[in-house]
Structure 1
Amino acid sequence: MFLEMVKKRNPELIDYAVSLHQQGIILPDTYVIDLDKIKENATKMAAKAKSLDIELYFMTKQIGRNPKIAETLIEAGIKKAVVVDYREAEVMMKHNIPIGNVGHLVQLPTHFIKKVMAYGVDYITVYSVEKLRQINAVAEELNMKQKIMLRVIDEGDALYPGQYGGFQLDELNEIMDVLKSFAHCDITGLTSFPCILYDKELKDFKLTQNVKTLKKAKQRMQASGFDIQEMNVPSATSIKTLPLFKEMEGTQGEPGHALSGTSPMHAEVELEEKPAYVYVSEISHNSQDSAFVYGGGYYARGNLENVLIDDEGKRTESSVEPFPSDNIDYYLEIDGKQTIGATAIMAARTQIFVTRSRVALVKGLNDNKPELVGIYTSQGSEEERI
């Protein structure tokens, strides 16, 4: 479905991606990202958020922790980043990108706390009293006061494997006095993830139980004297979901996939944000009745289904065989034999930061003046062109 959306809403991106590959400018296992579309999507989203008095922090992990994209998003009106982990913080700090929130999905390591706080960040999200104690000690050393968000969880919340952690809702009252004891920490925010999820049957977004947990936590914190000013309610932040923030009492969102038009709903419905990337590979070999393309960029939750093959201008389509998540994607299998060396174009949700892929940023497609901006690693480092 994502491929169909790109064909319909950004066909110029496919044409230019094919051209880059067939000229040998990019190798297979490269995501080609339309920088102009990213900016257009972000500009619309920033305007919508401003009209609703919602603050946005952009997330770049999905599109390769790319500093050039970060700079573009700032130009579009989303002024600060949310970093998924300390590695992403390192990239943003190296390129002087302002950071709004750090520590939400991955807590700050002990010996990285001071570096982040000296750099400056709006909020540090904390899962435990022990981590709060570490931050308070560093803040005292730096003679500053650090704003803090608590991640609060409860039984029945939507929590993903590998992301578990936070303050238990039923234990909050027991630790209020401890929380108040940290003089160099200003606890003014609460967060959880995911707060919104797409329901394929309803073909719409719905709130998770996590939202109820946050509201209960806010009431208890305020009753105990804490001034909770921010409710950070991430997941699926987009122009479509921003009106739901009022119901959630949300004040902050963290757009990620919507910046590239690749949330689950974008695959099925023409939303405001347009698709902004494709994945480029190449036919490596045939075996029996299948062709095999170079892998490296596969993401198990991406729901990759279809592939467009361009054989020196002759285009056909085929389907991609399901790939087992417990194997390494050296190759992806597609139905039917194909010409060795032909270009393969795919589109699916991804998380580029967990791939081996390269990222090619392009611009000028709308004006029929396509230009390659640069080629980067999946971690945001620029590479020399081949």
Structure 2
Amino acid sequence: MFLEMVKKRNPELIDFAVSLHQRGIILPDTYVIDLDKIKENAEKMVKKADSLGIELYFMTKQIGRNPKIAETIIEAGIKKAVVVDFREAEIMMENNIPIGNVGHLVQLPTHFIKKIIIYGVDYITVYSMEKLRQVNRVAEELNIKQKIMLRIIDDNDSLYPGQYGGFQLDKLREKLKTMRSFEYCEIAGLTSFPCILYDKDIKDFKLTHNVQTLLKAKKMMENNGFNIVDMNVPSATSIKTLPLIEEIQGTQGEPGHALSGTSPMHADIELEEKPAYVYVSEISHNSSNSAFVFGGGYYARGNLENVLIDKEGKRTQSKVKPFPSDNIDYYLEINGKQTVGATAIMAARTQIFVTRSQVALVKGLNSNNPELVGIYTSQGRKLERN
């Protein structure tokens, strides 16, 4: 459905992406991202969030940790980033992008804490007393009071593999006295992930058990003298979910996929945010009754289904065959034989930072003045090309 949404809501992006490939300006395995649409989506989100008193931190991992995109989002009104890990923090710091939250999904390495505190960040999220001690020690050395966000978990919470960790709710109370002793850490926020998830069966959002966990932790800590100012309740942050964030006492959201109009709900329903990227490949060869396109950008949870084939302006459509996630995506297989060298356009949810892809930023599509802004790695570093 993502491809159909792009065809319907941003067809100029497809046309320009095809043109870039067929002129040899971009190679296969390139995501083409519409900067103007990213900005429009962010501006709409800021307007809604401001009306509800919700602070937004933008996340760029999905679209390649790109500093140019970050600058565009800042221009739209979301002033600070949430970085998924220390590598993303490095990219933002190298490009002077303000950071609002670090450590949420990936904790800070010991020898990176000093760098991030010196750089300046609203919140450092911690999972353990050990990490809290480390932050307090560095903050004391620098004579800086650092705001801290605790990640809270409970046995019945929704947690993804590879993302486990946090303060166990039933053991939190016994740690509060020690937490108060850390003079250079101001514990002012709580978070969990995911708090809100899209249910495809009912085509609406549901709260996870994580929300109950956070509200219990907030009450406990406030009853014990802590001033919990911020409740960070991420996952699926969009114009559609902002009222839900307010309803569950959330003060912060972290838009990621909604900035590019590619959350799961965007595939089913025309929401306010419009699709802002496509994936470009090329027919490499045919074998038996299938064609194979160059891979490198496949994301197993992206629900990739359809592919548009463009042979010098003549367009057809086919299906992408399911790809086993335990293999490397050297190629993706599609139904039917195709013309070698033809352009292949796909659209699905992705996490560009875990791919081998390149990223081409474009603008001016809706003003009939399309322009390639630059080509970047999947980690946000600009490539110099003739």
What TM-score do you get using the length of structure 1 for normalisation? 1.00
What do the CA deviations read for 1:323-379 (whole angstroms, capped 9, x no partner)?
A: 000000000000000000000000000000000000000000010100000000000
Q: State the alpha-carbon separation in 2 of the partners of residues 246 and 87 from structure 1.
A: 31
Give the unaligned 5+ runs of structure 1: none
Residue correspondences, number: 386
Matches within 5 A, 1:165-180: 165-180=165-180
Identity of aligned residues (%): 82
Offset of residue 385 of structure 1: 2.5
Q: CA RMSD in A?
A: 0.4
Offset of residue 155 of structure 1: 0.8
Q: State the alpha-carbon separation in 2 of the partners of residues 25 and 301 from structure 1.
A: 29
Contact kept in structure 2, 1:284 and 1:294, CA below 8 Å? yes
Contact kept in structure 1, 2:54 and 2:246, CA below 8 Å? no
Contact kept in structure 2, 1:25 and 1:385, CA below 8 Å? no
SS at match of 2:316: strand
SS at match of 2:366: coil
What do the CA deviations read for 1:189-222 (whole angstroms, capped 9, x no partner)?
A: 0000000000011100111000000000000000
Moved more, 314-323 or 243-252: 243-252
Q: State the alpha-carbon separation in 2 of the partners of residues 338 and 49 from structure 1.
A: 46
SS at match of 1:187: strand
Partner of 2:259: 259
Give the unaligned 5+ runs of structure 2: none
Matches within 5 A, 1:33-112: 33-112=33-112
What do the CA deviations read for 1:205-257 (whole angstroms, capped 9, x no partner)?
A: 11100000000000000001000000000000000000001221100000000
Q: State the alpha-carbon separation in 1 of the partners of residues 37 and 58 from structure 2.
A: 15
What do the CA deviations read for 1:100-119 (whole angstroms, capped 9, x no partner)?
A: 00000000000000000000
What do the CA deviations read for 1:39-81 (whole angstroms, capped 9, x no partner)?
A: 0000000110000000000000000000000000000000000
Q: State the alpha-carbon separation in 2 of the partners of residues 373 and 306 from structure 1.
A: 27
Partner of 1:9: 9
Q: State the alpha-carbon separation in 2 of the partners of residues 101 and 50 from structure 1.
A: 19
Contact kept in structure 2, 1:190 and 1:230, CA below 8 Å? yes
- Counterpart code for 1:134: Q
What do the CA deviations read for 1:103-151 (whole angstroms, capped 9, x no partner)?
A: 0000000000000000000000000000000000000000110000000
Offset of residue 153 of structure 1: 0.2
Are 1:306 and 2:292 an aligned pair?
no
Matches within 5 A, 1:118-197: 118-197=118-197
Offset of residue 384 of structure 1: 1.5
What do the CA deviations read for 1:247-300 (whole angstroms, capped 9, x no partner)?
A: 211000000000000000000100000000000000000000000000000000
Q: State the alpha-carbon separation in 1 of the partners of residues 384 and 98 from structure 2.
A: 26
Contact kept in structure 2, 1:291 and 1:337, CA below 8 Å? yes
What TM-score do you get using the length of structure 2 for normalisation? 1.00
Moved over 3 A (4+): none
